[in-house]
Chain A
Amino acid sequence: MHNFDFEKPSTVADAVAALASEDAQALAGGQTLIPTLKQRLAAPSKLVSLTGIADLQGISHSDGVLTIGAATTHVEVAAGGYGSLSVLAGNIGDPAVRNRGTIGGSLANNDPSADYPAAVLATGATINTNARSIKADDFFDGIFTTALEEGEIITSVAFPIPEASCYEKFEQPASRFALVGVCVAKMAGGVRVAVTGASEEGVHRWREAETALNANFSADAIADLSVSADGLISDLHGTPKYRANLVKVLTARAVANC
């Protein structure tokens, strides 16, 4: 690792100020960032820890919305009994990773194979930052890219609570990230289907399936749909064709298990 300064502010305002210095970078749970630094793939001058900020902690539930502080760890979400969201959080990484990794860190990183983006996009959640609120549909901007501006900090994520939802993950056997993951959420405004792990563009919605499921919310409804392999990821663990198959299989399973 290259060396860096370390700051641990206790307020969002202090964190924003600390991040204003050149090449400063926010550090949440560090479960992706620290391995990246170890490989010397990044060289921030300063790391600003967000884990000491009380305002970024905690989970609240009101008016059909579940709001999760950005520095909430996966284990806290997993233990909260929030239906499929807890199941999703309880299957990220491994127990030690879940004790450190946070929802805000996961979303800001937007790994194309991460789990949380699928739930955020499927429920149409809102990402609140120190500056604004961003709709899920506007937040994810291709792999490892989001709508966040330089120095902007996610403060919380507000999930409208679905009538029914399920996240089906098929693990990449080595990393245990999603080779493909599909989140189906039956929302008040209709069904939303979000797919992670599959596309070179990162997490995305499968709108044909949404249309079909809005007409008939059953696994059979998507039986005649086909997923194009164009633009899907090709790597050691799966061809685009294989991933296309998984998108459909997992969507059907998610619907059946909703």
Chain B
Amino acid sequence: MPKDNGIGASPKRREDVRFLTGRGQYTDDIKLKNQCQAMFVRSQVANGVIKSIDTSVAAGMPGVLAIFTGEDFTEVGGNPAGWLINSRDGEPMKEPKRPVLAHGKVRHVGDAYAAVIAETHEQALDAAEAIDADIDELPAVIDMADALANTDNLVHDEIETNQCFDWGWIEDNRAATDEAIKNAPHVTTLELVNNRLVPNAMETRASTGDYNPGTGDYTLYTTSQNPHLTRLLISAFVMGIPENKLTIIAPDVGGGFGSKIYHYGEEALVLAASKKLGRPVAWTATRSEAFLTDAHGRDHKTTIELATDKEGNFLAIRTSTLANVGAYLSNFSTVTPTFLHGTVISGNYTVPHIYVNLKAVFTNTAPVDAYRGAGRPEATYSVERVIDKCARELGMSPLEIRRKNFIKKEQFPFATAAGLEYDSGDYHALVDKLEEIADFKGFAARKAESASRGLLRGLGVNTYVEACGLAPSNLAGVLGARVGLFEAATVRVNATGNISVMTGSHSHGQGHETVFPQLVADMLGMSADDIDIVHGDTSKIPFGMGTYGSRSMSVGGSAIVKATEKIIDKASKIAAHMMEAGEGDIEFNDGVFSVTGTDKSVSFPEVAFKAYVPHDYPHDKLEPGLEETAFYDPANFTYPSGAYACEVEVDPETGKVTVCSMAAADDVGNVINPMIVEGQIQGGLGQGIGQALVENCVYNDDGQLLTGSYMDYTMPRADDLPFFTTDQTTLTPCTHNPLGAKGCGEAGAIGSPPTVINAVVDALSDLGVTHIDMPASPARVWAAIQAAS
């Protein structure tokens, strides 16, 4: 087995060459012959009744080919939510229709109510500006508590409430949890905000529809993390185009972070327009449009209570949360605040009683959905912040209280009171590793040195466990999922022995084209250089549920392993035939099939060739060809975990927080490519620090987005961040997938926000500050210092 590019190796990424030389092919780079441009006309008010839309002037303007309004899509379906959540009283959630273009009402600033197709972008823009819409503005529903209290003012009139659902998890645990908290010797309560974020993949969304009038086939090039799901949604729910007549191609995609999981109306529009015009129709979002219309993330308001005994043993956790879902239900918007959030409230701890209540609220803002971490960062932040506060109240160190309550290594598999069964982990070992890499012993000296410069230094620690690798279909089905959550792969061995692997996992930065061949190379004893990955094209891949929830390796990779196992099975039969031996006598090692106890052997390439040149095949026993497909459905979620530490310096005069160091010890299970895993962790840390310190999506009371560009929405930049210290050597393999891999994509973004805030609060604790909301901006930190002193 070539050690340089098999499992555990870090070969250079093969996708890099095209990206580094400007030869990537992102959606907007694909210029189809005769393509024209779409431009959307978007609401400038948050809530309003569309009285009329006059397109007559625009229709006559130069280059204009077609104009669409919501009227054109009243016959088509709505874009659905992927999970049905029931309220505590058993009532199903409210599901107002999400149309292709707003019809009757506009519901957030940026809600598209018309689209212009013209020869050029500027012509489309000119015409879009000439469309005269009479929209009666209504008061905007923005604040979640107001939205629930005031039902005179509705986002969706037809559902007669702004509440989507009122969810309890686990409802049967409620009374016991209430009782435990009532009787507890100590209860720590914390109200906190999980700030709303804009995902900001650097490539904005783009879609090109291409209808072929000669065949009736549609092709959609689009910025998607999961093209098959997009096809399914367009086919089965929105447009009714048969799946066999619709191809979705997600070529190079410039980051997703959740925002490109979902199907958006623009995709349907360019397809419909292409059919009408018989020409390709292209649209690329400006960054301003991206801010207004990409699904946002987080946006929770939570009260959490942690009950302990006097020694700091956890007795119960109860949370009450308002979660913003925005104006429409995006595809994962109902599972993110519920099952991806409530189920991990137990964190890394033994907590006998847990109860989570969450109300999802419609507001006149952009839809809110899964963003890197999706629900688990919100849960981790709540739990880890209240634990830190509790430790201070009880006079314990933050590590001491965590160690005391960790699930112990020997307790796995461990069933939590929040309904999950963690398969493996070693949280004590992670914290030991963290102490080693973060140099806690030197903190006092560093703090004194900072103080000599007038700066307040703080140390924050944090642990997390997440549930990812979405997901066992049977469990998801019980919980309300409307789709399966398996993954598919086809391994095609070509006659000359090289291999194409078709995977439903889409790569948009994760390096699948490099890392998946490592799996197959290892199993077949060949060089990864002879293996290529095909992804992102529904016409080439059996099926796929896409890339999100840290699932590509644990679920997608496992599907590839299963398909490769089938290849080995079949190749063994061919080898047995070639060597005139019994199938049971064939051994396969390092790319060579041999007959047990003999010196007979054939190589894998020889077998591959025979598969396609089956001149002497026993056709009753063997089929020609060597290509296998597998669908892998996991038995459980995977449970990566980690222990993080952060040191910050606070300038008390200005409130500016500087991150001095960030150390992350993660257990992501078995690691296939250490370089890529480390890169994923680092990226997550950058985003998590961004959430903690600088990023914030803000609407004013009128529903205008105040942070609609990089002039006001702060993206972490190179000089905002330090080098990170990361370690993934403390590993407990996943027990239920063939790779033992747990996932690493979301870890950094889950673990880091509470670490940073714990550090900031530590720095300010001598002044009496006990909490600060994210982002801990200079102005907010300064105000907290003023309020405390």
Q: Is there a chain A Cβ closer than 8 Å to B653's Cβ?
A: yes
Chain A residues whose C-beta falls within 8 Å of the C-beta of B778 in the assembled complex: 170, 173, 179, 238, 242
Chain B residues whose C-beta falls within 8 Å of the C-beta of A1 in the assembled complex: 122
Closest Cβ of chain A to B310, distance in Å, is 41
- A175 and B779 in contact (CB under 8 A), knowing A246-B654, A249-B653? no
Closest Cβ of chain B to A225, distance in Å, is 15
In the complex, the answer to whether A173 meets B783 with C-beta atoms within 8 Å is no
SS class of chain B's interface: helix, strand, loop or mixed? Answer: loop
Closest Cβ of chain B to A181, distance in Å, is 13
In the complex, the answer to whether A174 meets B715 with C-beta atoms within 8 Å is yes
In the complex, the answer to whether A242 meets B779 with C-beta atoms within 8 Å is yes
In the complex, the answer to whether B783 meets A175 with C-beta atoms within 8 Å is no
Q: Is there a chain B Cβ closer than 8 Å to A236's Cβ?
A: yes
Identify B779's interface contact among A174, A239, A249, CB under 8 A.
A239
| Nearest chain B residue, comparing its CB with the CB of A239 | B779
Closest Cβ of chain B to A251, distance in Å, is 12
Closest Cβ of chain B to A216, distance in Å, is 21
In the complex, the answer to whether A170 meets B779 with C-beta atoms within 8 Å is no
A164 to B711 Cα, complex, angstroms: 33
A222 to B43 Cα, complex, angstroms: 50
Chain A residues whose C-beta falls within 8 Å of the C-beta of B122 in the assembled complex: 1, 3
Closest Cβ of chain A to B715, distance in Å, is 7
| Nearest chain B residue, comparing its CB with the CB of A38 | B286
In the complex, the answer to whether A174 meets B710 with C-beta atoms within 8 Å is yes
| Nearest chain A residue, comparing its CB with the CB of B713 | A174
A251 to B122 Cα, complex, angstroms: 47
| Nearest chain A residue, comparing its CB with the CB of B698 | A236
Query: B residues 771-789 with Cβ under 8 Å of A?
Result: 777-779, 782-783
Query: B residues 738-789 with Cβ under 8 Å of A?
Result: 777-779, 782-783
| Nearest chain A residue, comparing its CB with the CB of B706 | A236
Query: B residues 687-724 with Cβ under 8 Å of A?
Result: 694, 696, 698, 706-707, 710-715, 720
Q: Is there a chain B Cβ closer than 8 Å to A57's Cβ?
A: no
Closest Cβ of chain B to A87, distance in Å, is 16
A170 to B782 Cα, complex, angstroms: 13
Query: A residues 217-244 with Cβ under 8 Å of B?
Result: 236-239, 242
A246 to B783 Cα, complex, angstroms: 12
A62 to B707 Cα, complex, angstroms: 46
| Nearest chain A residue, comparing its CB with the CB of B696 | A236
Query: A residues 26-57 with Cβ under 8 Å of B?
Result: 39-40
A38 to B253 Cα, complex, angstroms: 25
Q: What is the 8 Å Cβ interface bit string for chain A, positions 160-179, against chain B (1 contact, 0 not)? A: 00000000001001110001
In the complex, the answer to whether B779 meets A238 with C-beta atoms within 8 Å is yes
A175 to B778 Cα, complex, angstroms: 15
Q: Is there a chain B Cβ closer than 8 Å to A214's Cβ?
A: no
In the complex, the answer to whether B706 meets A175 with C-beta atoms within 8 Å is no
In the complex, the answer to whether B654 meets A237 with C-beta atoms within 8 Å is no
Chain B residues whose C-beta falls within 8 Å of the C-beta of A242 in the assembled complex: 655, 778-779, 782-783
In the complex, the answer to whether B777 meets A175 with C-beta atoms within 8 Å is no
In the complex, the answer to whether A174 meets B654 with C-beta atoms within 8 Å is no
Interface centre among B288, B778, B779 (most CB of A within 10 A): B779
Chain A residues whose C-beta falls within 8 Å of the C-beta of B706 in the assembled complex: 236
Q: Is there a chain B Cβ closer than 8 Å to A109's Cβ?
A: no
Identify B710's interface contact among A175, A179, A238, A245, CB under 8 A.
A175
**Which interface class (under 10, 10 to 19, 20 to 34, 35 or more) fits B?**
20 to 34
In the complex, the answer to whether B782 meets A236 with C-beta atoms within 8 Å is no
Closest Cβ of chain A to B412, distance in Å, is 42
A245 to B789 Cα, complex, angstroms: 15
| Nearest chain B residue, comparing its CB with the CB of A3 | B122
Chain B residues whose C-beta falls within 8 Å of the C-beta of A3 in the assembled complex: 122
In the complex, the answer to whether B653 meets A175 with C-beta atoms within 8 Å is no
A173 to B711 Cα, complex, angstroms: 9
Closest Cβ of chain B to A31, distance in Å, is 13
SS class of chain A's interface: helix, strand, loop or mixed? Answer: loop
In the complex, the answer to whether B783 meets A239 with C-beta atoms within 8 Å is yes
Chain A residues whose C-beta falls within 8 Å of the C-beta of B694 in the assembled complex: 173-174
In the complex, the answer to whether B777 meets A173 with C-beta atoms within 8 Å is yes
Chain B residues whose C-beta falls within 8 Å of the C-beta of A236 in the assembled complex: 696, 698, 706-707, 712
In the complex, the answer to whether B711 meets A174 with C-beta atoms within 8 Å is yes
Closest Cβ of chain A to B693, distance in Å, is 9
Query: B residues 111-170 with Cβ under 8 Å of A?
Result: 122, 125, 129
In the complex, the answer to whether B714 meets A249 with C-beta atoms within 8 Å is no
| Nearest chain A residue, comparing its CB with the CB of B125 | A40
Closest Cβ of chain A to B61, distance in Å, is 14
| Nearest chain B residue, comparing its CB with the CB of A246 | B654
Identify B714's interface contact among A39, A173, A245, A246, CB under 8 A.
A173
| Nearest chain B residue, comparing its CB with the CB of A179 | B778
Q: What is the 8 Å Cβ interface bit string for chain B, positions 643-655, against chain A (1 contact, 0 not)? A: 0000000000111
Chain A residues whose C-beta falls within 8 Å of the C-beta of B710 in the assembled complex: 174-175
Q: What is the 8 Å Cβ interface bit string for chain A, positions 167-210, against chain B (1 contact, 0 not)? A: 00010011100010000000000000000000000000000000
Query: B residues 30-59 with Cβ under 8 Å of A?
Result: none
Closest Cβ of chain B to A26, distance in Å, is 23
Chain A residues whose C-beta falls within 8 Å of the C-beta of B698 in the assembled complex: 236
Closest Cβ of chain A to B618, distance in Å, is 68
A98 to B122 Cα, complex, angstroms: 29
Closest Cβ of chain A to B468, distance in Å, is 31
Closest Cβ of chain A to B319, distance in Å, is 28
In the complex, the answer to whether B712 meets A245 with C-beta atoms within 8 Å is no
| Nearest chain B residue, comparing its CB with the CB of A249 | B653
Q: What is the 8 Å Cβ interface bit string for chain A, positions 1-38, against chain B (1 contact, 0 not)? A: 10100000000000000000000000000000000000
Interface centre among A39, A40, A236, A239 (most CB of B within 10 A): A236
In the complex, the answer to whether B711 meets A237 with C-beta atoms within 8 Å is no
A39 to B709 Cα, complex, angstroms: 11
A173 to B696 Cα, complex, angstroms: 12
A246 to B656 Cα, complex, angstroms: 11
In the complex, the answer to whether A237 meets B715 with C-beta atoms within 8 Å is no
Chain A residues whose C-beta falls within 8 Å of the C-beta of B125 in the assembled complex: 40
A48 to B654 Cα, complex, angstroms: 42
Chain A residues whose C-beta falls within 8 Å of the C-beta of B777 in the assembled complex: 173, 237
Chain A residues whose C-beta falls within 8 Å of the C-beta of B779 in the assembled complex: 237-239, 242
Query: B residues 661-687 with Cβ under 8 Å of A?
Result: none
In the complex, the answer to whether B712 meets A170 with C-beta atoms within 8 Å is no
Q: Can you report 9 A-B residue pairs in the complex whose CB atoms are below 8 A from each other?
A: A1-B122, A174-B710, A174-B715, A175-B710, A236-B698, A237-B712, A242-B779, A245-B653, A245-B654
Could you list which residues of chain A lie within 8 angstroms of chain B, going by C-beta atoms? 1, 3, 39-40, 170, 173-175, 179, 236-239, 242, 245-246, 249
Task: State the 6 A-B residue pairs at the shortest beta-carbon distance, nearest first.
Answer: A174-B714, A175-B711, A173-B714, A238-B779, A249-B653, A242-B779
List 17 other contacts, CB 8 Å, given A174-B714, A236-B712, A238-B779: A40-B129, A170-B778, A173-B694, A173-B777, A173-B778, A174-B711, A174-B712, A174-B713, A175-B712, A236-B696, A236-B698, A236-B706, A236-B707, A237-B712, A238-B778, A242-B778, A245-B654
